[in-house]
A and B are shown apart, each in its own frame.
Chain A
Amino acid sequence: QKEVEQDPGPLSVPEGAIVSLNCTYSNSAFQYFMWYRQYSRKGPELLMYTYSSGNKEDGRFTAQVDKSSKYISLFIRDSQPSDSATYLCAMSRGGGGNKLTFGTGTQLKVEL
């Protein structure tokens, strides 16, 4: 069983839609939860990170973490064609190492 599960999609939505992306995980030691965006042939780029449970908002993006359910979400409001990319969830225990454990990524396409 993978430590982090993420639906690979693809997910196709019309411009302006609200997008919901999510991951589940099995390792209760994870403390930091990240969402990365990756465009084709580029490296992952950090969108948001959250420590422990709770919500965090940044512009059109909201990240939610529910540690009791081992479930994290990313919401994108008013989606734009430029949001079309692969979205990767990642997690770490924190501390000195901070190695990341990734989900497989969800491919999102926002259509005009």
Chain B
Amino acid sequence: EAGVTQFPSHSVIEKGQTVTLRCDPISGHDNLYWYRRVMGKEIKFLLHFVKESKQDESGMPNNRFLAERTGGTYSTLKVQPAELEDSGVYFCASSPGDFNYNEQFFGPGTRLTVL
């Protein structure tokens, strides 16, 4: 079974440009999460989808970030316009079901560098 995949693995952009990150969860997983790790800090939650609906977007830093999950399958995270402080590693995770606890399976991450 394929794991969580993320594309691209690395993106280098100029400040002010737009970048779109993609996550393909494990097939059949209704829950999809986005997390971010900036240099020297802990991994932080950004938002959570259940199928195509945003369940919790309390971690989104500001309105320059837009996440979508059309059709409840893959998800995209767009940063527009990118700022220097957006640099970091963006992780996607997915989990099945609607239980009290579900293991979250993480993708390898997208390393974003904003110059």
Contacts and interface: CB of A to CB of B under 8 A. Distances in A.
A46 B103 contact: yes
Interface stretch (A58-66, A67-75, A76-84, A96-104): A96-104
Q: What bracket does the count of chain A residues touching chain B fall in?
A: 20 to 34
A104 B106 contact: no
Interface residues of B, number: 29
A10 to B, nearest CB: 14
Q: Please classify the interface of chain A as helix (H, G, I), strand (E, B), loop, or mixed, using the class held by over half of its residues.
A: loop
Nearest to A32: B101
A6 B42 CA distance: 10
A57 B95 CA distance: 23
A43 B101 contact: no
Nearest to A89: B42
A88 B50 CA distance: 25
Given A2-B42, A88-B43, A97-B56, A44 B91 contact: yes
Interface in A29-72: 31-32, 36, 41-46, 49, 51
Contact of B48 (A43, A88, A97): A97
B45 interface: yes
B101 to A, nearest CB: 5
Given A94-B101, A95-B100, A99-B59, A44 B43 contact: yes
B107 A43 contact: yes
B31 interface: yes
Given A99-B56, A99-B59, A44 B106 contact: yes
Interface in B82-115: 91, 93, 95, 98, 100-109
Interface of A: 2, 4, 6, 31-32, 36, 41-46, 49, 51, 88, 90, 92, 94-105
27 contacts: A2-B42, A4-B42, A31-B100, A36-B106, A42-B108, A42-B109, A43-B4, A43-B91, A43-B107, A46-B104, A49-B101, A88-B43, A94-B100, A96-B50, A96-B55, A97-B55, A97-B56, A98-B95, A98-B101, A99-B45, A99-B56, A100-B35, A100-B43, A100-B104, A102-B35, A102-B44, A104-B42
